[in-house]
Amino acid sequence: MKPAVALLALLLSAATAIPLVRKDMWWIRAFDFPRGQILVVGLATLAAYLSLWDALCPHDLLPLAALSASVVYQALRMRPYTPLAARQVRDADARAVDPAATLSLLVANVLMTNREAAAFLALARRYSPDLILTLETDDWWAAQLTALAAEYPHTVARPLPNTYGIMLHSRLPLAGAELRSLLKDDIPSLRVDVTLRSGQVVRLFGLHPEPPYPDEARSTTKRDAELLLVGKEAAPLQGPVIVAGDMNDVAWSYTTALFRKTSRLLDPRIGRGMFNTFHARVPLIRWPLDHVFHSNHFTLLQLERGPAWGSDHFPVFIRLALTPEAAPAQPEPEPDADEQALADAKIADALDE
């Protein structure tokens, strides 16, 4: 038993160390995803190792030390996405909030081949958000979502048959809508201004970059660069900003951290939970791929991972309150010079490909 435990300890340590290599190959960046799983298995392996303590030889201490360091490192990386950390976004005072200065958003990757449109429409009615952002929408899904037209008269849509279609349905007025292909012609992203009932304008970005696996992309270069391009565009904006979508990256990756600093946006999950959205059908393999980031103009009224309804992604529902006076208590993250240079280099590499 001891050799098997030692081998597992070394494998878990290697899985922890691999993503420390700052390279964009898909198989390296894939180890950013299962940090929670590595932590849980690592703790179980550590307990097994310690139960064999009397039988350990001095040379067994190396795997034990490596495993212990791995467990501590993974726990520290996961800690911000637990209630053990301070909340980055303050709770809104529901009694003091002006309803006209609130915005609710439902984000859902519908899974293009999924045909449970009735279940999704029921979900939309249940949450009744101001905005519905759907991803992987093709022509079939666009036809099904016409059922939303009566309640959501404002629409921006680019359905596509390649799993990168994107649609926005809105009760609130939209202006200046653009569907842009930042790096690849067949992968659009959304930029639009949303006017709240109070008259305040919010800049909304919707994203769905390609995921890091061989069938889609052998490196994360373009995924990372698309996030960072939007981050650089969002950072200098003086008004309220929201960036949402299936970003095909986990909340705790160094790329997502770099995006948050580059964009100067906040993550409402920090201090609250992981809100794992994928894979809805495989409980043991889940991580947060669907995100909503926002500027410090907002405080949080509600954040919820919705129920499984037919897609391989859970939906995300968020309700925000425009609270500009809360900004000083919610400091923006900022990149240092090295992080700024890294973001610029990633964008340059993607544009050169």
pLDDT in tens, 65-108: 999 999 999 999 999 999 999 999 999 999 999 999 999 999 99
Residue-wise pLDDT for 3-44, tens only, equals 888 889 999 999 999 999 888 898 999 999 999 999 999 999
* CA distances for 60 relative to 3, 14, 184, angstroms: 9, 16, 50
Confidence of residue 328 (pLDDT cuts 50, 70, 90): very high
Dihedral in degrees, nearest 10, Cα atoms 12, 273, 206, 248:
10
* CA distances for 244 relative to 59, 133, 230, 295, 341, angstroms: 49, 8, 11, 12, 25
Which residue's structure tokens are 């930042």? Answer: 182
For residues 53 and 3, which has the higher predicted lDDT (pLDDT)?
3
With 90 as the cut, is the pLDDT of residue 353 above it? no
What the block records as the tokens of 175 is 């202006």
**What is the Cα 145 distance to its own chain's centre?**
24
What the block records as the tokens of 172 is 């609130």
Residue-wise pLDDT for 217-239, tens only, equals 678 999 999 999 999 999 999 99
Confidence of residue 62 (pLDDT cuts 50, 70, 90): confident
Confidence at residue 64, expressed as pLDDT on a 0 to 100 scale: 85
**What is the Cα 331 distance to its own chain's centre?**
20
The dihedrals phi and psi of 261, each to the nearest 5 degrees, come to -70, -40
Separation between Cα atoms, residue 167 and residue 141, nearest integer Å: 10
Say what percent of the chain tops pLDDT 90: 86
Confidence at residue 187, expressed as pLDDT on a 0 to 100 scale: 96
Residue in 322, 302, 297, 319 with CA at minimum distance from that of residue 101:
322
What the block records as the tokens of 305 is 């991972």
CB 267 within 8 A of CB 298: no
Which segments of 32-116 does DSSP mark as H helices, in order?
35-51, 61-78
**What is the Cα 36 distance to its own chain's centre?**
15
Confidence at residue 55, expressed as pLDDT on a 0 to 100 scale: 61
Confidence of residue 292 (pLDDT cuts 50, 70, 90): very high
What's the rounded mean pLDDT across residues 278-297? Answer: 96
Confidence at residue 218, expressed as pLDDT on a 0 to 100 scale: 77
Tell me the torsion sign for CA atoms 222, 36, 332, 170: positive
Say what percent of the chain tops pLDDT 70: 97
- Amino acid at residue number 8: L
Peptide bond into 59 cis (omega under 30): no
The average confidence (pLDDT) of the chain is 94
Tell me the torsion sign for CA atoms 212, 214, 216, 217: positive
CB 286 within 8 A of CB 278: yes
Q: Which residues contact 63 (CB under 8 A, 6 or more apart)?
A: 6, 9, 10, 13, 49
Separation between Cα atoms, residue 78 and residue 13, nearest integer Å: 16
What's the rounded mean pLDDT across residues 274-285? Answer: 96
Global pTM reads 0.95
Separation between Cα atoms, residue 78 and residue 96, nearest integer Å: 33
What the block records as the tokens of 227 is 């996030």
The dihedrals phi and psi of 264, each to the nearest 5 degrees, come to 60, 30
Q: Which residues pair with 266 in a beta bridge?
A: 294
